[in-house]
Structure 1
Amino acid sequence: MQVKTRDIKDLFPIGAVQDDLIFSKWGDITVCFEVILPEIYTLNVQWDGEGDNRVEMGEYRELVESWSKAIGVLPPHTIVHKQDWFVEEKYQPKVTVNAFLDKTSERHFNERPYLNHRCFLFLTKTHPERRSVSAEAITLARTRLVSKEVADAKKLDDFLNAVEQCKAILESTRLLRLQRLTTNDIVSTATSQGLLERYYSLSLQEEVVTLADIERDDCLRIGGKFAKFYTISDVDDMPDWVLTHNRVDAYSSENSTVSVCFAAPVGLMLPCNHIYNQYVFKDDKHVSTPELEQRATQMRSLASFGKANEVNAMLINEYLTEASQYGWTPIHAHFNVQVWTEDKSKLPVLRNLVSSAIAKMGARPRENSLDAMALFWAGIPGNAADLPKEDRYWTFTPQAVCLFNQETNDETSLATSGIKLTERLSGKPINVDFSDEPMRKGWITNRNKFIIGPSGSGKSFFTNHAVRSYHAQDSHIVIVDVGHSYSSLCEMLGGKYLTYDPANPISFNPFVIEGRAQPDIEKKEALKTLLQTLWKRPEEQQTRTEDTALAAAIDGYYQYLAQHEDIFPGFDSFYEYLQDGFVRYLDEHKVREKHFDLENFMYVLRSFYKGGEYDYLLNSRTNLDLLHDRLVIFELDNIKDHPILFPVVTIIIMDVFIAKMRKLMGIRKIILIEEAWKAIMKDEMAEYIRYLYKTVRKFFGEAWIVTQEVDDIIGNKIVKDSIINNADTKILLDQRKYQNKFGVVQELLALTKKEKDLCLSLNRDNDPGRLYKEVFVSWGGQHSKVYGVEVSREEYYAFTTEQREKLKVQQKVQQQREAGADINYELAIKEIVAEERGL
């Protein structure tokens, strides 16, 4: 049997693309936009009032109202065609990474499937004559190429002005961004494929491809792809009520509700290749309303011939009453889902997926095979007017807009800084900039971070991952730890790990200054605080005279060093200076013993001088300069309760970080205090924390506090307000064990209701096929998201704080040591992972 074929040029409805406008052969003019939608799970739902008087507020309602207003400013005979593409793609690894862990991460995510989503908006100005035109007619048979209305320059200007108003209204919400498509975006160039050609090939790829043949059989075949259409095109198929949003039961609980837009089941939550077409036909109400009234009259007059006529008349009158009561303009609407696959045998599976998705919206799904070609043709950008009239139904704009897809997938940051996390829906890896991009967008005013997660929530694992990421981006990091959470990572990154061991006790030398320079104000204050801590107990008060005398002792000592370059700076030489030069200073200035007890001062400090109990602590000749070490970890577990060592070491830590903060210009500096309460319970540390949180922002620095309990922070009056008020980025891990008392956490951290709901949704519906945990991030209450923390097995062994896994790595390293080989943590981890995989 001979197959009848026709050249697509004879049927192609687009006449020209010029001046960034699409001109159809029937005189329709279309303006094209790409719409950047809000990320899924970021919109909130709010209610005002109680009981039956509750009124929905929030961002979903705001979007629906904005779309309704935007459509309202468009002139009659305008078609709004919103086209959302959801195309299955696979993650392609970066080929530019060099670091061992980066390579393993890229291999781990290689070819992970996900839905690539893009949203386009086509605003088409047509004309009254258009509805009598047949799609099969020959254009040149008409008396005019375009209608008189469209050819009117003033009406065209009015339409374009209305389009700009529509765009301004939508963007005024700050939830949407519209980018005008140019001619080069719409039609192909020599190097890239245009939107029209992409539609004809059902592909979002930019490379130029040859257009495929289109065949119509039991399904629509476009090249090697088999397509089906499922429509929502009859008012009888609609639910009694349409909403602005839907509750996601898998992420919600009795105390929390996570929502998505009403059309999400046919959007990102439909896991297959598909296009969701949304049409709104804005007619002239001065014409459509009388037509409806006339139809109601006709139905009423035919009531004696059938009860259905009377019912239809009543429904039309109710519809017109609603329009009059609320000032709504009658419109036509149509929605369809076009799915496709290269394997025809999968079409029944797709049918079940789409049917259940539409049913989740409360609508009745219909597979439309007869009009498949017409529906495909109407989906061509700029050709919405060709949608068959019998596939449209009467409704109002707000109700139609509720069926718009309002959300997109998570956006990956293009910044060079950031942490690799995963999307919640698909597990696609994305780059999340926690620091700089939120500052540029105005979400936060400082880069400080507060990280909270109960034991076992993955808190230390996440911070290891974050530290490794920031270290790879050339940041300087100082960590205060009390649980050896970063020992393996430190070894792998070649950092400096300082811990107290009786056989090899921790030692410093705060008196050494690079280049034997004179101390600046910060350094003087740090040394003065150190001497005060060595001399006085916390409950003892420091007098003004004592403070002045200590400052003079420090000045005199560095003048003494400048005159004697052969003397090594350290506490020993400082103590010797006190015995001579400082005594003369006190005599010359007639400082009496009751104002400064020199004998007591020298006696107390004697234990830090050579031969004393702590003579090792402040006379180091090895840890002289920590300024240029990019990763320095102070492990305080063994001295956290020591009355002398702990306060001294904390002061030195602060001195190290302040030196980095002041001297390393243009370099990111981070101080991370793990299990913060162990440190900040001491007043000496608390004062520094308060100072840091208020000033670190000015020096391109960040202060991170990591803890298990919020009470650990708020129990310290000095630190409470400084940390909570000056840490704009709040990061929470699994909080489900606190869901019945989360209100306290919400109040203390000033979380919104939406943020509380997202926190309580963590890890509620994780993909069993992947090993990961979720993390919640809030940037100043302005933007909040949930991400997955998923890493390769190699990264897992580098970041884990589980003793059993850490021991595996240590055993491999010990084997290297016993074999006389160089210590190589990367090789040790490679061997462990290879053994796990049976290689």
Structure 2
Amino acid sequence: MKNPVVQYAAAAGDYDEFQNLLTGIIKILGDGYLLQKQDILHKTPFDPAPAAEYLQQKFNAHFAGRAALRTDTYLTITRQVKKGRFYTYDPKQLRDFRTAVHKVTDVLKAAKCEPSILSEKQITELVRRILAMRFGNGPFSLNNFKPTDTDIRMGERSVRCIPLVNSDNVDMPGELGTFTELNENEAVRGFPVDMLSFLYKVPAFEAILYNQVIEIPAQQATLNKLEVKRKRHSGIPDPANALCVEDIDLLLKDVARNGQLLVNVHYSIIVAAPATDIQKSVNYVESALFQLGIIPNQNAYNQLELFRAAMPGNGVELKNYDWFLTTSDAALCLFFKERAMEDEPSSFRIRLTDRQGIPVAIDPADLPMRTGRINNRNKFVLGPSGSGKSFFMNSLVEQYLLFNMDVVIVDVGHSYSGLCAYYGGKYITWSDERPITMNPFLITGDEYNLEKKDNLVTLIALLWKGAGGSVSTIERDVLTATISVYYASAFLDGSGVDLSFNSFYEFALEKIPEIKSEERIPFDLDEFRYVLKKFYRGGEYESILNETSDQSLLNERFVVYEIDALQDNLVLLPIVTLIIMDVFIQKMRNRRNQRKALILEEAWRALMSPIMANFLLYLNKTVRKFWGEIIEVTQELSDIIGNPIVKDSIINNSDTVILLDQRKFRDNYGEIAKVLSISATEQRKIFTINQLDNRESRARFNEVYIRRGSTGEVYGVEVSRQQYYVYTTEKPEKNAVHIYVQHYGSYPAALDAFLADIERSGLPAGDFVQKINQQNKPLIL
């Protein structure tokens, strides 16, 4: 089975739910049953599936062999029989046992614990692996076995059994919860984790088996024994006896008031490690237990006994001194409840890492759509400068291009130049000499529809009023009527109209006065004529709306529009962005068999005006019908706070929210959380980004929070060195890699030579890059 609580899920309620689930299972089983739960933590070298693409091969090589911590969980149900010299076969008891097992299985299935009943072959292998303390899928063998009073030697390894409780002196905290909280630093304080979560961090261990056993005794007989014990202690006036009476009274009241079951419970942690390191591992475990208020048994000389009792179904071998009596609720608090992240079952997946640095594959769109977790594929990305936003987006785009995906990016910082060059995409930059042009008016009769007309009305309103302006209802109706008549006359046989902004401008200056006169309505024709004149023949921007764009772009899989030069141009930035989005709309409609993604970096802020509100709303809603998605990326807090257009047009239509390190925004996070509908539980996850102690033995990485629907997870963005130098936004590194690409003719050959030369030179990477840029050619040793 699988534990239902995902590690670092921050969902305190999930621990309570699993506790209630286990309580229900105990009540289903009833008197005479043993419930044994075994959680096995073991390290398995990461073994990725082969990849055909160069960068993905390097990603695999980067992680291959990294120790992945896995958790396997087994639940064993044992029915005790009357002890005697001979076993008597009772078909009714066997039938009842099978019924109980099936009931428990059904309960676990309903809770999505994915239980499966093991075959005889699987049970045999599990027992043998426990005997060898070797887990996973690799080969193993049983080694020399030498039990002592303090441990069990297996060749060069040592196994230590640590009972959590000494039944002669039960040292447990007065209160237990279903989880504990992290207290490592201010950022993670209060973050819920499993009571035994320290097991993930035990140093030098090879495998850990946490054996949890509950025996359900006959309830009335147990209560009677307690009453007898209470009377015996109360008969002798003594402080120690008075404490015993008080404890028994509390227990009996708890059982009577809350309907709890009395159970005998046993816990033991079995650690396997190299003989030279076993003491280090054991010291860490005992120290962690002390911090929980649990003093483990320091005199566990029955090591072989405890190890045998850890075999599946062998809890009956535990002696009286290995058990202690408590309520079922208290007993289940120390049951292990977590599991690690796992690959999602889908054919459309991207790879990130879990929080221990092991690759994990998630589906960013299809699976969440099928399961109802999200209703659209759109994404909203927020991360301050330096948080790794561009790095994450490069990783996402690289993996999108492994599928049948068309990607169009509007960028303002040259963040994608390396990836575009690697894939041989179209990289289009704005300059006054070579502006980005298009003729949005040049369409056929079949292409003309209500949607296209609305887009043209929006464009003309934007040209006239600017990004910060607005048009009245009368003005919009006049523009709509003018466009309708313009195309009605243009599509007449023999009209000879050259569809372009020039011809529309001439037509509008004739038609609008007629409409004004007929309808007797106000319309500032002089302002309209003067403002739009700069886009007309002979004007400053005459080519932008009158020259047909490169039609081959409609068939390009990867197109980047770099409009950094327009960042401060309040007139052209929104217009050019709108033109580019129109290109995407054409791709969206014409390339129906391709996935499509439009990524708007900071440029989308130019469209945050009342004029553009309906267009943005239309685009965000419509794209899902054409197997597409829109990703809006920003680093500015002001972009989302206090801007109703962002919320109504973008955020409300982006079911996936992606957040990078949010510490810079923490003081204002109440407002962000309100706009993005982030719950308190999700905020706890967000503020652990880059705050855990999980950087040992890992390359440089950043963490990212991805919320699909109402819940999200934190992942790592860690890549190979080859991928890093493709993604890099540092200008010196870009230049140095470009020098190698020009020399070697291809990115794979250039990256291999570049990294090999760094190693051969013996220089730090920064110094090597500087040297390559200075000599403007690859290193010659």
If the length of structure 2 is used for normalisation, what is the TM-score?
0.86
Distance change (3 Å), C-alpha of 1:367 and 1:739: same
Q: Does 1:348 align with 2:279?
A: yes
Which segments of 5 or more consecutive residues in structure 2 lack a partner in the other structure?
A: 762-781
Are the counterparts in 2 of residues 231 and 368 from structure 1 also a CA contact under 8 Å?
no
Q: 2:508, 2:387 → 1: CA distance?
A: 57
Counterpart position of 2:430 = 500
Offset of residue 166 of structure 1? 3.8
Q: Does 1:549 align with 2:482?
A: yes
Are the counterparts in 2 of residues 229 and 372 from structure 1 also a CA contact under 8 Å?
yes
Q: 1:348, 1:758 → 2: CA distance?
A: 34
Q: 1:489 aligns with which of 394, 403, 419?
A: 419
Are the counterparts in 1 of residues 180 and 194 from structure 2 also a CA contact under 8 Å?
yes
State the percentage of identical aligned residues.
Answer: 33
Q: 1:435 aligns with which of 347, 355, 365?
A: 365
Q: 1:636, 1:685 → 2: CA distance?
A: 19
Q: 1:74, 1:169 → 2: CA distance?
A: 12
Q: Does 1:39 align with 2:44?
A: no
Q: 2:192, 2:86 → 1: CA distance?
A: 53
In structure 1, the residue corresponding to 2:707 is in which secondary structure? Answer: strand
Q: 2:679, 2:166 → 1: CA distance?
A: 40
Offset of residue 586 of structure 1? 6.8
Q: How many residues align?
A: 748
Q: Does 1:282 align with 2:236?
A: no
Q: How does 1:754-773 map to 2 (within 5 A)?
A: 754-769=681-696, 770=698, 771-773=700-702
Q: 2:707, 2:648 → 1: CA distance?
A: 18
Q: 2:571, 2:667 → 1: CA distance?
A: 41
Q: How does 1:576-587 map to 2 (within 5 A)?
A: none
Q: For each residue in 1:705-760, what CA deviation from the matched residue of structure 2 results, as whole angstroms up to 9, or x when unmatched?
A: 21123421344333322323222222211122233332222222221111112222
- Which range moves more in the overlay, 727-736 or 532-541? 532-541
Q: Does 1:774 align with 2:703?
A: yes
Counterpart position of 2:174 = 240
Are the counterparts in 2 of residues 523 and 655 from structure 1 also a CA contact under 8 Å?
no
Q: 2:227 aligns with which of 266, 269, 293?
A: 293
Offset of residue 598 of structure 1? 10
Q: 1:758, 1:578 → 2: CA distance?
A: 54
Are the counterparts in 2 of residues 86 and 268 from structure 1 also a CA contact under 8 Å?
no
Are the counterparts in 2 of residues 677 and 712 from structure 1 also a CA contact under 8 Å?
no
Counterpart position of 1:220 = 152
Distance change (3 Å), C-alpha of 1:217 and 1:368: same
Are the counterparts in 2 of residues 675 and 707 from structure 1 also a CA contact under 8 Å?
yes
Distance change (3 Å), C-alpha of 1:741 and 1:72: same
Are the counterparts in 2 of residues 443 and 779 from structure 1 also a CA contact under 8 Å?
yes
In structure 1, the residue corresponding to 2:381 is in which secondary structure? Answer: strand
Are the counterparts in 1 of residues 264 and 323 from structure 2 also a CA contact under 8 Å?
yes
Q: 1:448 aligns with which of 378, 390, 393?
A: 378
Q: 1:388, 1:230 → 2: CA distance?
A: 15
Q: 1:637 aligns with which of 557, 561, 564?
A: 564
Distance change (3 Å), C-alpha of 1:300 and 1:577: closer
Letter in 1 for 2:709: G
Q: Does 1:230 align with 2:162?
A: yes
Letter in 2 for 1:103: Q
Q: 2:667, 2:457 → 1: CA distance?
A: 48
Offset of residue 252 of structure 1? 4.3
Counterpart position of 1:331 = 263
Q: 1:651, 1:583 → 2: CA distance?
A: 21
Offset of residue 335 of structure 1? 0.4
Counterpart position of 1:5 = none
Offset of residue 295 of structure 1? 4.0
Q: How does 1:119-518 map to 2 (within 5 A)?
A: 119-129=73-83, 142-144=85-87, 147=88, 151-153=90-92, 155-169=93-107, 174=111, 176-183=112-119, 186-187=122-123, 194-206=125-137, 214-217=145-148, 219-222=151-154, 225-235=157-167, 236-250=170-184, 252-253=186-187, 257-266=190-199, 272=205, 273-298=207-232, 303=236, 312=244, 315-316=247-248, 318-341=250-273, 343-366=274-297, 370-424=301-355, 426-510=356-440, 518=447
Letter in 1 for 2:724: Y
Distance change (3 Å), C-alpha of 1:649 and 1:310: closer
Q: 2:376, 2:39 → 1: CA distance?
A: 37
Letter in 2 for 1:707: T
Counterpart position of 1:137 = none
In structure 2, the residue corresponding to 1:335 is in which secondary structure? Answer: strand
In structure 1, the residue corresponding to 2:428 is in which secondary structure? Answer: strand
Are the counterparts in 2 of residues 293 and 317 from structure 1 also a CA contact under 8 Å?
no
Q: 1:682, 1:421 → 2: CA distance?
A: 36
Q: 2:160, 2:731 → 1: CA distance?
A: 54
In structure 2, the residue corresponding to 1:627 is in which secondary structure? Answer: helix
In structure 1, the residue corresponding to 2:597 is in which secondary structure? Answer: strand
Q: 1:741, 1:577 → 2: CA distance?
A: 48
Q: 1:504, 1:480 → 2: CA distance?
A: 17
Are the counterparts in 1 of residues 234 and 242 from structure 2 also a CA contact under 8 Å?
yes
Offset of residue 283 of structure 1? 0.6
Q: 1:747, 1:605 → 2: CA distance?
A: 40
In structure 1, the residue corresponding to 2:75 is in which secondary structure? Answer: strand
Q: 2:203, 2:34 → 1: CA distance?
A: 26
Offset of residue 230 of structure 1? 0.5
Letter in 1 for 2:312: P
Q: Does 1:835 align with 2:754?
A: no
Q: 2:549, 2:33 → 1: CA distance?
A: 77
Counterpart position of 1:68 = 23
Distance change (3 Å), C-alpha of 1:539 and 1:229: closer
Are the counterparts in 1 of residues 457 and 476 from structure 2 also a CA contact under 8 Å?
no
Q: Does 1:668 align with 2:595?
A: yes
In structure 1, the residue corresponding to 2:377 is in which secondary structure? Answer: coil
Q: 2:370, 2:609 → 1: CA distance?
A: 36
Counterpart position of 2:773 = none
Q: 2:527, 2:666 → 1: CA distance?
A: 55
In structure 1, the residue corresponding to 2:760 is in which secondary structure? Answer: coil
Letter in 2 for 1:82: K
Q: For each residue in 1:220-256, what CA deviation from the matched residue of structure 2 results, as whole angstroms up to 9, or x when unmatched?
A: 24576431100113352322322221111225449x6
Q: 1:626, 1:693 → 2: CA distance?
A: 22
Q: 1:766, 1:351 → 2: CA distance?
A: 21
Q: For each residue in 1:639-682, what CA deviation from the matched residue of structure 2 results, as whole angstroms up to 9, or x when unmatched?
A: 24435433432322221222233333353222222125632334
Q: 2:492, 2:571 → 1: CA distance?
A: 29
Q: Does 1:697 align with 2:664?
A: no
Are the counterparts in 2 of residues 70 and 167 from structure 1 also a CA contact under 8 Å?
no
Are the counterparts in 2 of residues 482 and 635 from structure 1 also a CA contact under 8 Å?
yes
If the length of structure 1 is used for normalisation, what is the TM-score?
0.81
Letter in 2 for 1:721: D
Counterpart position of 1:59 = 14
Letter in 1 for 2:17: E
In structure 2, the residue corresponding to 1:237 is in which secondary structure? Answer: coil
Letter in 2 for 1:156: L
Counterpart position of 2:777 = none
Counterpart position of 2:63 = 109
- Which range moves more in the overlay, 727-736 or 767-776? 767-776
Q: 2:661 aligns with which of 734, 743, 751?
A: 734
Are the counterparts in 2 of residues 267 and 405 from structure 1 also a CA contact under 8 Å?
no
Letter in 1 for 2:703: E
Q: 2:240, 2:537 → 1: CA distance?
A: 106
In structure 1, the residue corresponding to 2:553 is in which secondary structure? Answer: coil
In structure 2, the residue corresponding to 1:506 is in which secondary structure? Answer: coil
